[in-house]
């Protein structure tokens, strides 16, 4: 629905109010129109960003105050440790690598080569902006909270602080963004759904592997996911905003 149609509907429903505050009504209509990305899609993404940041703040506050979240962390970590199986541990040790710096940077480089080959320069810039941004904020979060890892039950030696999980945050941002771009290029809804399922599954497996292997608590992974979602939203906003202003020669993915 266009902003003009929305204004007409609002005038019909709230006649006196729309005549008294025409500027505000027009602004509201522009925010709710589905005709362009800066309307309802951007509004929904901004609300999603606000909710995500609020949830992330709540998780962080619970950790600082040693509240219920920490008790849940301890219970989940101990439960998984008690049920740890050698073969599953080996499997998750392999899966957790998909969130490591070496693998994610490698995948980022491969994706960049593809973007350069197809001349999708905006995707290239957005990708590395997100990778840099999420990496910096993960390190800032670790230094701010300085939360120790559950090293007593860790499956392998690991250093650094625990909150938020860098593997989870990077997986959410990188694979979420690549999956989004891939799905956008597909025409069949079924294919898009399968790409979405595969993307979500990979992200969840990376996060779960961190808890299962005893190198992160549940809240560390949740915090990483929430941080990653924030940067993923930024990537979607930048992508869709530029779609409304396509390159003369090449469109976005």
| Domains delineated in the chain | 52-243 (1.20.144.10)
Instruction: Encode pLDDT of 55-94 as tens digits.
Output: 777 777 776 666 777 888 889 999 999 888 888 999 999 9
User: Are residues 186 and 244 in contact, defined by beta-carbon separation less than 8 angstroms?
Assistant: no
What is residue 249's predicted lDDT score, i.e. its pLDDT? 44
CA distance 68 to 50: 23
Q: How far is CA 67 from the centre of its chain?
A: 26
Output the pTM of the full model. 0.79
CA distance 180 to 184: 6
* pLDDT at position 1 over 60: no
CA distance 212 to 128: 29
What tokens appear for 49 in the block? 């960003």
DSSP 8-state code for residue 149: P
């Amino acid at each position: 629905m266009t902003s003009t149609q929305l204004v007409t509907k609002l005038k019909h429903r709230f006649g006196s109010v729309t005549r008294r505050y025409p500027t505000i009504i027009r602004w509201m209509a522009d925010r709710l129109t589905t005709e362009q990305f800066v309307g309802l899609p951007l509004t929904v993404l901004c609300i999603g960003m606000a909710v995500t940041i609020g949830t992330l703040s709540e998780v962080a506050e619970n950790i600082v105050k040693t509240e219920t979240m920490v008790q849940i962390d301890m219970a989940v970590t101990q439960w998984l440790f008690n049920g740890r199986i050698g073969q599953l541990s080996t499997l998750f040790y392999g899966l957790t690598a998909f969130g490591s710096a070496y693998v994610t940077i490698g995948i980022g480089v491969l994706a960049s080569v593809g973007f350069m080959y197809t001349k999708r320069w905006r995707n290239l810039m957005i990708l590395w902006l997100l990778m840099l941004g999420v990496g910096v904020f993960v390190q800032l979060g670790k230094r701010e909270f300085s939360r120790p890892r559950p090293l007593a039950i860790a499956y392998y030696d690991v250093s650094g602080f625990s909150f938020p999980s860098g593997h989870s945050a990077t997986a959410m941002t990188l694979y979420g963004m690549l999956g989004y771009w891939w799905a956008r290029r597909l025409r069949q809804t079924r294919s898009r759904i399968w790409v979405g399922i595969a993307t979500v599954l990979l992200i969840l497996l990376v996060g779960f592997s961190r808890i299962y292997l005893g190198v992160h608590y549940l809240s560390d992974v949740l915090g990483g996911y929430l941080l990653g979602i924030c940067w993923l939203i930024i990537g979607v906003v930048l992508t869709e905003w530029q779609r409304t202003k396509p390159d003369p020669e090449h469109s976005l993915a």
